[in-house]
Amino acid sequence: MSGTIFLSPPDLSPLEEAYVLRAVRSGRFDPDGPEIRHFEREVAGRVGTAHALAVSSGTAALHLALLAVGAGPGTVVVVPTLTFAATANAVAYTGASPVFVDCEPASGNLDVELLPALLDRLRAAGERVAAVMTVDINGSCADYERLLPICADAGVPMVEDAAQALGATRRGRAAGSFGRVGIFSFSHNKIMTTSCGGMVVSEDADLVARCRHLSSQAREPVAHYEHRDVGYNYRLSNVLAALGRAQLRRLDQMIDRRRALRERYAKLFAAVPGARILGDGDAGSNCWLTSLVVDPDAAGWDAAQLGRHLAARDIETRPMWKPMHRQPVYAGRPAALTGAADRLFATSVSLPSGSGLAGGDADRLFTAVEEFLEGRR
């Protein structure tokens, strides 16, 4: 037994050590160091956008993206209710108000069917909709073929929260490239990490330039310190950008390993009545996290029972996010709901999915799952 098996730990190799050591030895610790510019160009190249801005976190990237599209006091932003708090919090930072929308049961992504009526209702109420946010849940892209025309018809920009989806694609197009602006997270548990960090990507040069200005304390380009806006200290460090460059070189390898784990889970649960993998069948997913959805009436057990069984064996799991409309901080906010996010929260569990999970630890994990299933036959 090698200790705790975590849900999605960092996957580092000698390559990352070499890149970081080179950055440290260069003596460049300033926020305009060469590793940052290389990292921005390389991520933009991977995603297929013309511009990118490296920042200190995915949440910072979301905040800047929303400001850049005009979110602020007196506006609302449509946000999926099934998401991490940062998505909604970034809206609140701008002074705008989130309006929550439910998810598709199969993928967990924003329910496209609800969006046109919601936008009509907001427009009729005199609300100014600054943006529609999408979240690519567990590394699977939302249904952009249907979402983009709806947003275009309504004249509302799309902000794509692809925090979990770097490397994912939909019909050959990369996650992060669909919206007017997209963002990624490089926190410690994402598909690749800079320990913390994020990226704004867009085809819009002016938008990214505005984000870059705000991320650097909004300092005007003069010799002394001059500020016309309230800015933020959201810059990524040169050393962490070097770590990101090494991780990016290994991204496809890490995606392949996570996909192999998901396929192993899918094979294991295929014969279990009432059990399914959230978003299963998406060949373009980066498989960042594998979440199991369980119908307890059909399976004879529930997701929480599996989580407790694995926890007793020092294996980490986690329920899906508690929907934002259920969070006390956002109680009473307007929402378009079907109950799908509530059901996923009640019936699902996310399983260890790290690309570094292999060998004896992987065997220990799957043996523990098999023991659980055997005990309920």
CATH number at residue 327: 3.90.1150.10
106 lies in the same domain as 236: yes
Whether residue 37 is contained in a domain is answered as yes
Predicted local confidence at residue 1, as pLDDT: 47
**Nearest to 110, CA basis, from 91, 76, 131, 136:** 136
Question: What's the predicted TM-score (pTM) here?
Answer: 0.96
Which of 195, 227, 247 lies at the terminal end of a domain, its last residue?
247
Whether residues 99 and 35 share a domain: the answer is yes
Q: Count the helix, strand and coil residues of the chain and give each as a percent rounded to the nearest 5.
A: 40, 20, 40
Do residues 259 and 284 lie in contact, with contact meaning Cβ atoms separated by under 8 Å?
no
4 lies in some domain = no
Q: Report how many domains make up the chain.
A: 2
Does 7 reside within a domain?
A: no
One of 170, 180, 190, 258 is an active-site residue; which one? 190
Identify whether residues 115 and 259 lie together within a single domain. no
Whole-Å CA distances, 57 to 185, 188, 240, 282 = 6, 11, 11, 27
Spatial distance between the Cα atoms of 204 and 211, rounded to a whole number of angstroms: 11
Q: What is the per-residue pLDDT for 377?
A: 77
CB neighbour list of residue 132: distance below 8 Å, 6 or more residues apart: 77, 78, 115, 119, 147, 151, 156, 157, 158, 159
Q: Which two tokens stand for residue 244?
A: 């990101």
Is residue 227 a part of any domain in this protein?
yes
Pairing of strands 97-101, 75-80: parallel
Nearest Cα residue to 138 out of 251, 278, 270, 7:
278
* Confidence at residue 225, expressed as pLDDT on a 0 to 100 scale: 94
Query: What's the CA gap between 339 and 348, in Å, rounded?
Result: 14
* Shared domain check, 96 and 169: yes
Q: Is residue 5 assigned to a domain?
A: no
Q: Provide the 3-class DSSP secondary structure of residue 15.
A: helix
Listed residues 229, 247, 265: the one ending a domain: 247
Shared domain check, 230 and 140:
yes
Domain shared by 115 and 235, yes or no:
yes
Q: Which residues of the chain have pLDDT under 50?
A: 1
Residue 118 is predicted with a pLDDT of: 98
Which residues are CB-contacts of 377 (< 8 A; sequence separation ≥ 6)? none
- Structural domain that includes position 358: 251-375
Question: Does residue 227 sit in the same domain as residue 321?
Answer: no
Give yes or no: residues 158 and 258 share one domain: no
Compute φ and ψ for 210, nearest 5 degrees: -65, -45
Residue 215, SS3 per DSSP: helix
Quick check: is 190 catalytic?
yes
pLDDT score of 280 = 92
- Per-residue pLDDT reduced to its tens digit, 33-70: 999 999 999 999 999 999 999 999 999 999 999 999 99
Q: Are 128 and 60 in the same domain?
A: yes
Tokens describing residue 75: 């506006």
Q: Are 182 and 287 part of one and the same domain?
A: no
Q: Do 368 and 258 share a domain, yes or no?
A: yes
Tokens of 372: 């659980």
Could you tell me if residue 205 is inside a domain? yes
pLDDT at 5: 97
Q: What are phi and psi of 212, to 5 degrees?
A: -60, -40
CATH of the domain at 50: 3.40.640.10
In terms of domains, do 289 and 362 share one? yes
Cα–Cα–Cα angle for 255, 15, 24, nearest 5°? 125
Q: Does 6 map to a domain?
A: no
β-strands 275-277, 173-174: how paired? unpaired
Of 214, 247, 280, which residue constitutes the final position of a domain?
Answer: 247
